[in-house]
Structure 1
């Protein structure tokens, strides 16, 4: 199928793994979540600029 092979870490798998430690370790979900947010916003701004 499409996508990254399982042993490779992705932002989505990092967020999924951090769900269990949501309150005790917020840095586990904060950085991957911010990277996803900035990536989506930057693609959106580039699309608006075109």
Structure 2
């Protein structure tokens, strides 16, 4: 998403959340949902992956298991 926001991601025919946020910057005052929806999708995805990784670490790390 960060590379798409900077213009270094996928090329224009392919949809990308970062590109959607970057393209919607000029419409943020009149139509804020253009930026809000892809931003929320990025937020939910990052938090989900982070929590999933924490859960895997808790389940699989033998150093964290104490009797």
TM-score interval, normalised by the smaller of the two chains? 0.7 to 0.9
**1:15 has 2:33 as partner:** no
Output aligned runs, 1:9-48, within 5 Å: 9-48=15-54
| Greater Cα offset, 5-14 or 23-32 | 5-14
Larger Rg: 2
Unaligned residue ranges in structure 2 (runs of 5+): 1-8, 57-67
TM-score (norm 1): 0.86
- Compare relative contact order (CA 8 Å, sep 6+) and give the higher one, 1 or 2: 1
Across the aligned residues of Structure 1 and Structure 2, the Cα RMSD in angstroms comes to 1.1
Structure (1/2) with the larger helix percentage: 2
| Count of residues paired in the alignment | 48
Unaligned residue ranges in structure 1 (runs of 5+): none
